[in-house]
Structure 1
Amino acid sequence: MESKLHLKENPELKDFQNYITEMLEERGLAGQSIERIFMLFTEECGELAKAARKSGGMHVDGNSEHFEVAHELADVFNYLLDIANYFNVDLEQAFREKEEMNKKRTWQRPE
């Protein structure tokens, strides 16, 4: 069956969130528990860490799968969007609000 999913050109963050909702519906994956979503999110974060290690020249298990940083970032992003949707969070609005709070903080490097 051919996918009917389409992400518009130059999407906004909300478009990505809507796309994830539609994608999960189309693939029969909607309605997963938050525990399962977090488990998958954490797994993808681990794969991203492994890809970053390999990309940075650090030693990795030669028998393990090959992970590309860009692909793993996309997987992490997908699950982050899914988590935001689960909690009905407009991620762009949340980012903007939190960044305004962070701008008022004092940032220092430890000596």
Structure 2
Amino acid sequence: MQISELQKQINDFSIAKGFDKSTIEQRALFLVTEVGEMVRELLHISYHPDRDNIDEIKKHLGLEMYDIVWNICDLANKLDINLERSFLEKTEINKTRTW
């Protein structure tokens, strides 16, 4: 799936569920909340990498990562930012950077 398709899908879902009414500040707070939830799952893996339920923890981690991407795309939609174009532009910038 292209990033532009993902943004379109999220835009349609956001409108259907009424999330398009949230402000950019609210969406940013939702994003931060989801990052916190992802970090909580990462801590479970970090402290107990050999747990019997590691696959379940990774599943939860993946779902939290989805929520982060979803919120970023919704925020970009609210700000009329084409993430695909931004991604390609930043990729070119990074090719010339040294770390």
Interval containing the TM-score (normalised by the shorter chain): 0.7 to 0.9
1:20 maps to which of 10, 20, 33: 10
Q: Secondary structure at the match of 1:70?
A: helix
1 or 2, which has the higher helix percentage? 2
Q: TM-score, normalised by structure 2?
A: 0.83
| Residue 28 (structure 1) shift | 1.6
Give the fraction of aligned pairs with identical amino acids, expressed as a percent: 27
- Specify every segment of 5 or more residues in structure 2 that has no aligned partner in the other structure, as ranges: 49-55
Match of 2:51 in 1: none
Between the aligned partners of 1:98 and 1:16, the Cα distance in structure 2 is: 19
Q: Deviations over 1:9-65 (max 9, x none)?
A: xx211111001111011112213111100000000000000011112226xxxxxxx
- Specify every segment of 5 or more residues in structure 1 that has no aligned partner in the other structure, as ranges: 1-10, 59-65
1:89 maps to which of 57, 65, 81: 81
Code of the residue aligned with 1:82 in structure 2: it is D
**Number of residue pairs aligned between Structure 1 and Structure 2:** 90
Match of 2:92 in 1: 100
Q: Secondary structure at the match of 2:20?
A: coil
| Residue 75 (structure 1) shift | 0.5
Off by >4 Å, runs of 4+ in structure 1: none
Q: TM-score, normalised by structure 1?
A: 0.75
Between the aligned partners of 1:43 and 1:13, the Cα distance in structure 2 is: 23
Q: Deviations over 1:65-87 (max 9, x none)?
A: x9710010010010010111111
Between the aligned partners of 1:70 and 1:51, the Cα distance in structure 2 is: 9
Q: CA RMSD in A?
A: 1.6
